[in-house]
Structure 1
Amino acid sequence: MLHQKDYRYDGKPVEEAKKVLIMLHGRGGFAEDILGLADHLKIDLDEFALVAPEAYNNSWYPLSFMAPEEQNQPWLNSALELLAELERELNEKGIPSEKIYFLGFSQGACLTLEYVTRNAKKYGGVIAIIGGLIGKHINTGNYLTNFEGTPIYLGTSDPDSHVPVERVQQTAEILKNKNAKVELRIYKNAGHVILPEELGVANNLIFGYPGKEKV
């Protein structure tokens, strides 16, 4: 595996946590950067462990997420395998998948969406800011299962220099067809950034979601 198990942690130790938030940084970012977003999330750090993997050379795959998938290999498969291994480890430590949450930004949002859609099941929730499903053409044959009502927030800028808004909209429709509860917010000329406003929306949907299970 090209990407190594290089994780940063915050919040509750995994062994003591009831829930886990997996946080994925963007291209050129660091695990510590994305962990800093936790200060803006309405999560109870007495319940949550935060886990932020760090990509090899700070990039999950070398080219655009809209390049032909084979051109981003073997890095893309390695990143997906890393997340699969992390989810298995959390399950083995007593955290069921419905108590696992994901947050990704930019390249990390694309990787998050690709992973959870290929492995769709009831997750705690997903926040993907400026990202979409991966590939020159989306291969819906990779997405065989459904989300069982998982809440998913998608936020993006129109336009964005890296992620066409049409790909985000297409992604939202696929997720809805896979039985996800999707909230898509498009912000005009917002830039390639995470907006405080959309973190508020994501907080309400993901961490204050009225249909979520109670611990």
Structure 2
Amino acid sequence: MSHTLSIEHAGAPLQADNKVLIMLHGRGSTSSDILSLAKYFDIDGYTLLAPQATNHSWYPYSFMAAKQDNEPWLSSALNIVEETVKTALDAGVPTENIYFFGFSQGACLTLEFLGRHAKHYGGAIAIIGGLIGEQLDHTAYTGNFEQTPVLLATSDPDAHVPLTRVKESVAILAAMQADITLRVYENFGHSINQEQIDLANRIIFNKS
């Protein structure tokens, strides 16, 4: 089984001189749900692309399950993200004008895709997520982010994403020359807060 490519578009029309924000929803959610968060970000003039997971889940088990247990859905989900990026590239948008936002399962998928396809992107925000797998295969993560700004924010504790995995992910991405900002909120819960939105606007979307 695999995902069917279905990308919901919002914001400005897709064209070469626009910035693009790819938004990845969490388990049980929809592309429309994740797009509804766009109004909180300083992204006037951006094109928004939000792929939809088949059956509302990118992969069936925990992101910390053995990778083979989440196949073939995980590989298919990563391919969907790659096809969404290709949609922007085919329109003439350079990688440095492509941005990412993911929450929960979508944050995990965002980080896993970026770890496997490191380039100089515009920036990325991953709220409550980490790289995927029971044990992380460091050899799978290659390339250079060339100081792409990446914001990771999480709650400690979180019922689904342990802080140890978030920190392990930070170390890997930082070694690949990502410009990492990590924020940990004690007992905040599995959600998004205003400070995270403000940080995203300041260090990702309004960076000089």
Check whether TM > 0.5: yes
State the TM-score, normalized to the length of structure 2.
0.97
Q: Is 2:16–2:91's contact at 8 Å kept on the other side of the alignment?
A: no
Q: Distance in 2 between matches of 1:2 and 1:17?
A: 33
4+ residue stretches of structure 1 with deviation over 4 A? none
Q: Distance in 2 between matches of 1:141 and 1:34?
A: 31
Equivalent residue number for residue 36 of structure 1: 36
Match of 2:159 among 120, 144, 161: 161
**Structure 2 unmatched ranges of 5 or more:** none
State the TM-score, normalized to the length of structure 1.
0.94
**SS of structure 1 residue aligned to 2:154:** strand
**SS of structure 1 residue aligned to 2:147:** coil
Shift of the alpha carbon at 1:92? 1.5
Q: Distance in 1 between matches of 2:189 and 2:17?
A: 35
What per-residue deviation string (whole Å, max 9, x for no partner) do you get for residues 77-105 of structure 1? Answer: 00111111222221111111111000000
Q: Distance in 2 between matches of 1:29 and 1:56?
A: 11
**SS of structure 1 residue aligned to 2:63:** coil
What per-residue deviation string (whole Å, max 9, x for no partner) do you get for residues 22-55 of structure 1? Answer: 00000000111100111110112x2x10011010
Task: Determine if the alignment matches structure 1 residue 114 to structure 2 residue 112.
Answer: yes
- Cα RMSD (Å) of the superposition? 1.1
* Paired residues, number: 208
Match of 1:151 among 149, 152, 162: 149
Match of 1:132 among 130, 150, 170: 130
Q: Distance in 2 between matches of 1:105 and 1:36?
A: 13
Equivalent residue number for residue 8 of structure 1: 8
Q: Is 2:8–2:49's contact at 8 Å kept on the other side of the alignment?
A: yes
Shift of the alpha carbon at 1:164? 0.2
Instruction: State how 1:150-189 maps to structure 2 within 5 Å.
Output: 150-189=148-187
Q: Is 1:17–1:49's contact at 8 Å kept on the other side of the alignment?
A: no
**SS of structure 2 residue aligned to 1:186:** strand
**SS of structure 1 residue aligned to 2:59:** coil
More displaced, 120-129 or 3-12? Answer: 3-12
**SS of structure 2 residue aligned to 1:104:** strand
What per-residue deviation string (whole Å, max 9, x for no partner) do you get for residues 133-164 of structure 1? Answer: 00000111111111011000000000000000
Q: Is 1:66–1:135's contact at 8 Å kept on the other side of the alignment?
A: yes
